[in-house]
Amino acid sequence: MTIQGWILILGFVAILLALTKPVGTWLFALYEGRRTPLHVVLGPVERGFYKLAGIDPNAEQSWRRYAVHMLLFNVVLLLFTYAVLRLQGVLPGNPQGLAGVPDHLAFNTAVSFTTNTNWQSYGGESTMSNLSQMLGLTIHNFMSAATGIALAFALFRGFARREAKAIGNFWADATRITLYLLLPVCVIYTIFLIASGVPQTMAGAIDVNTLEGMKQSILLGPVASQEAIKMLGTNGGGFFNANSAHPFENPTALTNLIQMLSIFTIGFALTWTFGKAVGNTRQGWAILSAMIILFVAGVTVTYWQEAAGNPILHNLGVAGGNMEGKEVRFGIAASALFSVVTTAASCGAVNAMHDSFTALGGMIPLFNIQLGEVVIGGVGAGIYGFLLFAILAVFVAGLMVGRTPEYVGKKIESREVKLAVLAIAVLPLIILGFSAISAVLPAGLAGPLNKGPHGFSEILYAFTSAVGNNGSAFAGLTANTPYYNSLLGIAMWVGRFFIIVPMLAIAGSLAAKKYTPPSAGSFPTTGGLWVGLLVGIVLILGGLTFLPSLALGPIADHLAMISGQLS
């Protein structure tokens, strides 16, 4: 580890903290439906959308209607993308003449991008046409991100409203978030990326002469526009197979820093928006403090392990940190930081291969996802996932003080606790269940490149990433098979919507309750004790469930590595 590496990590957190309140203020304006400076230009566009769709943005919805409209919207988009991918061979915007995508891969990809997972069982440049990238996939990068933020707004209203029957309007929330946040930022972001060397063209490829005198065909495409929303919306699906390790997606150290910042900025800011929504910004800062503690701990372990290097190579006289699978232009610190950022959020973009990390260095990205991706988390998904843990934390606190638990003025009763447990229990059940099945069936065992504990880690990481809607991978797993594409697609759908529906039910239940002012016996939820309890609950409920799988995978792999054995 170096001083420069720690300056990068600490400077990264400091920049994000500085952005939290300004961005959170903008998000709060969208949460309340207030007018912004962009309404002068985009207001007519917004009203035009509502008129064409026959939507009254002021007609609020119960949690059930909100959930149904959100689900139907996502199902229609999924079917649309599946059709685009299957018909790719006969559609325009295909300069390479690529054939239609096979049925099992089209299903996996359509589900993946609908659920904000962006898992890719394919190489983008050799499988997807320009039209498929722009129309079939990028549309989901915007709408899945807008859906996540809209759902967070719905839960905020559940805590903030008193004796109300509605939690907002899904169509109005998603439209405002897209028009006044995602699109404007991505226009500026795309221009920055183009200026930094990221391609933005409808051309398919160019032929060049290499330094060795050989001819090479270099693939191009509308990369910058997809890259911008890929990062800002914590999507992660790369235009190229190498993702953000590819110089056409992430060419410089500056673009690398901006990409990491864009992954976290909205997640940081939504904590402040939550505090503002419930009338106490200290509530938001407390949640953010717990998230940062978990994040910094993860970065420390990953950076320490990657900087320490591989003891097997050290015994062979090769000194230094672990540079396997990392880009020289980024180095160990930036690669370790990126890996934790992308898995703490539900992004999944990578600038280094996690399969090449040391055993414990690769364990932290895996563990981040297994916590439920609530360490900052995806746009919207992180904060509403963390609030589920907060509900269970105040329940535990209520047991300790012997009174009905309260959180931000709402009594937390058995209905909310049961729904929160139901939502959180989805992850371990599907991750462990599907991993166990794949570890014994021939079709599952045909996927891992490595044998033993590292091979198990490849399977475990795949289902962890799918259920957690992350999308990153231990690249040693061959996942483009009917078995893995189908099972991972099911895992992604369950991991997204089987959490969302109970969460919306909690929002509806809370919105209908009266406000309960704090009293002398109330458990404080803004101080250091509360932050510590939150961290503990996340680690216990989100982490202990997975200790058996961790022992079989990364920990066993680490023991094999330090004993001088190759796994």
555 — pLDDT class (breaks 50, 70, 90): low
Query: How many CB atoms are located within 10 Å of the residue 59 CB?
Result: 11
Is 550 a residue whose pLDDT tops 80? no
Stretch among 271-280, 506-515, 517-526, 531-540 having the lowest mean pLDDT: 517-526
Q: Is 406 helix (H, G, I), strand (E, B) or coil?
A: strand
Is the whole model's pTM more than 0.85, yes or no? yes
Is 156 a residue whose pLDDT tops 50? yes
pLDDT of residue 547: 60
pLDDT of residue 400: 76
Most confident among 153-167, 303-317, 418-432, 553-567 (mean pLDDT):
153-167
Please check whether residue 477 is in contact with residue 121, taking contact to mean a CB–CB distance below 8 angstroms: no
Amino acid identity of residue 118, one-letter, is N
Residue 533 CA to residue 530 CA, distance in Å, equals: 5
Kindly report the average pLDDT of the chain as a whole number.
Answer: 89
Residue 174 CA to residue 143 CA, distance in Å, equals: 8
pLDDT of residue 358: 85
Is 565 a residue whose pLDDT tops 70? no
567 — pLDDT class (breaks 50, 70, 90): very low
Residues 6+ apart with CB under 8 A from 21: 269, 272
Output the six-digit token pair for 85: 């991918």
The kind and range of the H/E element at 231 are helix 223-232
The kind and range of the H/E element at 305 are helix 281-308
Q: What pLDDT digit, counting tens, does each position of 307-350 carry?
A: 888 777 777 777 678 888 888 889 999 999 999 999 999 888 99
558 — pLDDT class (breaks 50, 70, 90): low
Output the six-digit token pair for 514: 């009266």
| DSSP codes, 40-75 | HHHHHHHHHHHHHHT--TT----HHHHHHHHHHHHH
Share of residues in the chain with pLDDT > 90 (%): 59
CA separation (Å) from 184 to 101, 121, 146?
A: 32, 31, 13
- Region 12-16: what's the mean pLDDT? 96
